[in-house]
Amino acid sequence: MKRWGIVLMLWGQAVLAACPALLNHTVPGLMGGQINLCQYADRPLLVVNTASHCGFTPQFTQLESLYKQYGPRGLMVVGFPSNDFLQELDSNSEIGAFCQANYGVTFPMAGKGHVRGADAQPVFKDLIAATDDAPMWNFHKYLVLPGASKVISIGTRTKPDAPEVVNAFLPYLQPEAQAAAKP
């Protein structure tokens, strides 16, 4: 029994060591629960600050499409609602209902929080530090490549499904046949 305890302790340390500092964040989920970003360390992760009442809100359509098309091959999309630009609904439940009713969002969404300035969520402080580029508006995107080996800042006006975005994460996805074979 003592050996198993040592094995589990060492395994736990290995798992913690495998999580890059940039992704070593757990954030509240929009509808409860927690989102541990470490679980996405081995895949491309598209982090997006979102808002419900913005001219760029229709980007939810492209984000959901990317998630459905490339999620089975490894792409992860996580939305981070923010009212930093005064275009977000008041509560997490309102945001969740809006995203579901209008865009059928199924990708994980964090609870509402700040994405810039002194009150920015720690994950956004780290993304800003890694890219030297803070969100200037809603729907700013950060593409974190596996192992946080590289972080690409993508401006609001660039659509999530733009060729330059897709081509940046495609090399890191599983081949289609391999992804289809997974249970």
| CATH code for position 66 | 3.40.30.10
- Does a structural domain hold residue 9? no
**How far apart (Å, rounded) are the C-alpha atoms in residues 63 and 80?**
12
- Mean pLDDT for 68-94 is 98
Q: Between 15 and 88, whose confidence is greater?
A: 88
Give the residue among 25, 19, 100 at the shortest CA–CA distance from 64.
Answer: 100
**How far apart (Å, rounded) are the C-alpha atoms in residues 2 and 139?**
50
- Does a structural domain hold residue 11? no
**How far apart (Å, rounded) are the C-alpha atoms in residues 142 and 139?**
10
- Does a structural domain hold residue 3? no
Q: Is 19 a catalytic residue?
A: no
- Does a structural domain hold residue 6? no
Give the residue among 46, 51, 50 at the shortest CA–CA distance from 164.
Answer: 46
Name the average pLDDT for the chain.
91
pLDDT at position 147: 94
CA distances to 144, 152, 167, 168, 170 from 164, in Å: 14, 11, 5, 6, 10
- Does a structural domain hold residue 26? yes
Catalytic residue selected from 19, 38, 54, 99 = 54
- Does a structural domain hold residue 141? yes
Say whether pLDDT at 7 is over 60.
Answer: no
Least confident among 42-46, 72-76, 84-88, 179-183: 179-183
pLDDT digits over 116-157, tens only?
999 999 999 999 999 999 999 999 999 999 999 999 999 999
**How far apart (Å, rounded) are the C-alpha atoms in residues 46 and 109?**
12
pLDDT band (50, 70, 90) for residue 176: confident
pLDDT digits over 84-125, tens only?
999 999 999 999 999 999 999 999 999 999 999 999 999 999
- Does a structural domain hold residue 36? yes
How many other C-beta atoms can be found within 10 angstroms of the C-beta atom of residue 102?
Answer: 13
Q: Report residue 37 as tokens.
A: 């970003």
**How far apart (Å, rounded) are the C-alpha atoms in residues 96 and 98?**
5
Range of the domain at 51: 19-181
Say whether pLDDT at 18 is over 90.
Answer: no
Say whether pLDDT at 80 is over 50.
Answer: yes
Q: How many domains does the chain have?
A: 1
